[in-house]
Structure 1
Amino acid sequence: MRPLMRRRIMQGSVNLEFFRTALLSLGASFLAGCASFANPGPMPASGHGSVHEILPALAEHHRVCNVVVAVVRNRKLHSIDSASGCKAARPPGPDSVFQAASLSKPLFAHAVLLLAKEGRIELEAPVMRYLPEGYLHRYAPLEAEPSELVTDHRLNAITVRMALNHTSGLPNWSSGPLRFDTAPGAKWDYSGEGYVFLQRAVEAVTGQPLDRFMASGIFQSLGMQHSDYVLGPRIARDLVPGTKANGAPRATIEMTSPVAAFSLHTTANDYARFLVAVLADQPSVDVITASPVTVDAKLDLGWGLGWGIARERDDTLIWQWGNNPGYRAFVIASVRSGDGMVMLTNSENGLKLAEPLTRRILPGEHALFRSAVMGTDVLTMLCNGLKLCL
C-alpha cells in the first residue's frame, strides 16, 4: 500500500490553494463520475454473477484502486468483499479505513433522531433554540477562522427537520459570509451548510465536540471500533490513501475538525453495522421515510431525515452517495427486504461501481441512478463557494 499522503489544511490561503489544485486535477474524473450514473459503461464479462464474483473485474475495468463492499441480507451482515483494480495496490481488508464523505450525513442524522427520542431535541423546533448565543459560521468548515456571527433573521426559521432533509435554504457550501439560496422550507436544495448548522446545535445540547459525542453515544453502542469524524493516529494507521481517476495518488485532506456533512472515516464493516441497526428498527425507518420532500417528481425521488428516498412500485429504498477528493462511497438498502450494501472506495472512479453492484443485491432498474443529484458535496463547494467551477 502506498504511504499515506497528507496535507494539513491550517490557513485559509492554504485551503484555497489546495482546492484550486484539486479542482484542476479533478476535472476530467469529476465529469466522468457524474456521467457514470446515467451510463456506467460496458460491463465486464463476469457482470452477471454475485458481488464476490464480479467485484475484481469491475474494479479493474473502471480502474478503482481499492474497493470494499459489505452486503446486507435480511437485515444482517452477509458478506464483505474487496478488490483492487490497480496493479500497484493491494486489496484492502474489512477493517481498512476510507473517507466516507457524505455517508457522514445519515449517521449524524441517526444521532439527531436518538437525541429527539430522548427528548433533548425536537424535530420541529428551530435550530436556533439550541444556540442561544447565536450561530458562529466558519467560512471553511475545517477551520475555526475566519468566522462570523450570523445575523440574518431567516436563520430562526430553520427547523431541525429542515436541516436534515435539505430544505434549510442554505447553500451546499459557502467560503464567505453565510447566505440563503432559498427561503427556509421552500424546496429541497442539498446543503452541507445546513448540516454544519445543526451540528453546532447538537454540540451545544450534548456539551461535546461532534467527534467525542459520536464516539461515546453512537460508535460504542453500535460496535463501530474503526470509525471517527476526525483523522487521529489510530484511524490514520489504517486509512487507505485516496487516488485520482488515473490511479495516481491524491493528496489527502486531513480532517482535523469534525464536520457532520463529510468528515467521517470508517470501514465497510463498521458502516454495515450502522445500516443493519437502521433497518432493524422499523419505528426509526418510519420516521426517516415518512413524508419525504420532493427531489425529482418524475423519478419519484425524495429526501427524508438524513437519507435519500426512492419510492418504487413495491418497495422503498434509502440511499446516499459520497464524494470527497480521492474517495467515493455509496450506501443503499431496501426497507422491505432488509437487503442492501455499503461501498467504500479510494478512487474518483468509485461511483461507477454503484449501479452494477446494486443490481446484484437489489435486482432491476432503479430510477435514482438516472438522477442528477449525485454530483455535489466537496466539488460543489469548490464551484459554489470558491467560484472554481468545472
Structure 2
Amino acid sequence: MRNLRSKKKIFDTHISELMKSASVPGLSIFIAEGGSEEIRAFGVRSIETGAPVNSATVFEAASLSKPVVVHVALQLADDGKLDLDEPLSRLAGPLVPLDPASATITARHVLSHTTGLPNWRHSDVPLRTYFPPGSRFSYSGEGFVYLQSALESLAGDPLDVIVRRRVFEPLGMRSSSFIWRDSFNDNAAFGHDREGNIEDKFKPDRANAAFSLHTTAGDYGKFVVAAMDGALLSERAARLWMEPQVPTPNGRFEALESTPPDTETGVYWGLGWGLEPDVKTFFHWGANPGMTSFVLATPAGRNAFVAFMNSDLGLNIVPGIVERIMPGQHPALSWLGLSR
C-alpha cells in the first residue's frame, strides 16, 4: 500500500510539473493498466474562478468525437444498413455538384481519411476533392460532416440521438453528449488560449460529428475500453477498424497537393483510429479553441489513457504523460510534432 501511495505521489508531482511548465490550467485523465482503471484530476476548470477539476468535469472532446461516430457507422454496417463502400451521395445527395469525384466518396473513405477533401474549407481552400477518393490520406473534418448527413438520412434521427442510443446508453456514458446540456454548466472546463486567456464557452445546439462531443475522462475511458474489447461490434468489424488502411503523410495530417507526399514511418490510419502497427497501439488527438485531448491505447495489454486539457498548449504535455504511462517508441508523437 505504501509503495502504491508513493507511486501515485510521484506521478502526481510529475503531472503537476508538466502542467506548470506548459502553462496548462487543468487536466482530467483516465488510466487503464491491465485490469485496473482510475481517473485523476489536476488543476482548475478556469483561471478566473479557480474552481478545481474533478473526475466529473466535462471537457470538449474535440476530434475525439470522430471515433465515436465511426463506431456508429460500423454498427450500422454490422446491421446490414450501411455499405461502407457505397457512395454516400446515394444517402446524402451530392456534396459538391460540380465535382463528380465527390459523388464517389464512401463511408470507408471518410473513416480512413481518404476522401480527398480538405480538413476544413476556407477562402484559400474551397470544398472539393483534391485527389481521387481512396487513393491516399489527408485528414478531413469535412468528410465527417458529410458522413453525418448520410447517417442521419439513413437512421431518420439527428446524430446526437443516434449516438446516445447506440453508444452512450449501452456503455453507461451518462455525462456525454454531442449537444450542450444545461446540466454541464455546474462542472464544465473552460478553454484557455496560448496566452492564458479564457475562450468563450462552446455550447453546441446541433451535433457536429467532427468536434462537438462533450464528455468526461471517465466516460470516454469507457469508450476506449470498449474499443479495446471490440464491444458492441461483430468480431469482423472490431478487427477491421484496427487494421491499417493507409499510411500517413510525412510530418503532417493534411496533404492536398497533387503530388503524393512521402509517408511517415510507423504511422497508419485504420477505420477511425490512428495506428502504430509496430507497437500495436491506436491513438487519436483533438483540438478545439482552448481545448485539447489525446488517447493512446494498447489492446493486447489493456493499457490506455485518455487526457483532456483545457488549454491550446495541452498537447505539449502528452509526451511526458506517455513517458510515465506507456513508455517506448511512439512514432505518432513525432508525426504530430509532439516531442519532448
Provide TM-score, normalisation by structure 2.
0.85
Aligned residues: 312
Match for 1:223 among 158, 172, 175?
172
Cα offset, 1:52, TM superposition: 3.5
User: Is 2:241 aligned against 1:294?
Assistant: no
Provide the rounded CA distance (Å) in 2 between the counterparts of 1:273 and 1:130: 31
Structure 2 unaligned residues grouped into runs of 5+:
1-5, 251-262
User: Is 2:42 aligned against 1:83?
Assistant: yes
Q: Map of 1:233-382 to 2, 5 A cutoff?
A: 233-281=182-230, 283=235, 284-295=237-248, 296=250, 297-312=263-278, 315-372=279-336
Question: SS in structure 2 opposite 1:252?
Answer: coil
Provide the rounded CA distance (Å) in 2 between the counterparts of 1:153 and 1:220: 39
Cα offset, 1:91, TM superposition: 2.8
User: Is 2:105 aligned against 1:158?
Assistant: yes
Paired amino acid for 1:324: N
1:189-242 CA-partner distances (Å, limit 9, x unpaired)? 010111111111100111111111111221111111111111231234432111
Q: Map of 1:49-198 to 2, 5 A cutoff?
A: 51-74=11-34, 76=35, 78-84=37-43, 89-131=50-92, 134-135=93-94, 150-175=97-122, 178-198=127-147
Q: Map of 1:1-16 to 2, 5 A cutoff?
A: none
1:259-316 CA-partner distances (Å, limit 9, x unpaired)? 101111110010000001111128344211223201044421110111101122xx31
Provide the rounded CA distance (Å) in 2 between the counterparts of 1:369 and 1:99: 21
**Structure 1 residues 243, 294: closer, same or farther in 2, change over 3 A?**
same
Cα offset, 1:373, TM superposition: 7.2
Cα offset, 1:156, TM superposition: 2.4
**Structure 1 residues 47, 248: closer, same or farther in 2, change over 3 A?**
farther
RMSD: 2.4
1:129-151 CA-partner distances (Å, limit 9, x unpaired)? 323xx24x6xxxxxxxxxxx734
Provide the rounded CA distance (Å) in 2 between the counterparts of 1:191 and 1:263: 15
Paired amino acid for 1:303: W
Whether the 8 Å CA contact 1:55–1:82 is kept in 2: the answer is no
Whether the 8 Å CA contact 2:39–2:55 is kept in 1: the answer is yes
Whether the 8 Å CA contact 2:285–2:293 is kept in 1: the answer is yes
Provide the rounded CA distance (Å) in 2 between the counterparts of 1:220 and 1:48: 32
**Structure 1 residues 50, 262: closer, same or farther in 2, change over 3 A?**
farther
Provide the rounded CA distance (Å) in 2 between the counterparts of 1:255 and 1:341: 26
Task: Name 1:35's counterpart in structure 2.
Answer: none
Structure 1 unaligned residues grouped into runs of 5+:
1-45, 138-148, 375-390
Cα offset, 1:49, TM superposition: 7.6
Whether the 8 Å CA contact 1:70–1:77 is kept in 2: the answer is no
Whether the 8 Å CA contact 1:320–1:332 is kept in 2: the answer is yes
Provide the rounded CA distance (Å) in 2 between the counterparts of 1:120 and 1:171: 28
Cα offset, 1:175, TM superposition: 4.2
Whether the 8 Å CA contact 2:176–2:219 is kept in 1: the answer is yes
Provide the rounded CA distance (Å) in 2 between the counterparts of 1:179 and 1:87: 41
Provide the rounded CA distance (Å) in 2 between the counterparts of 1:336 and 1:276: 12
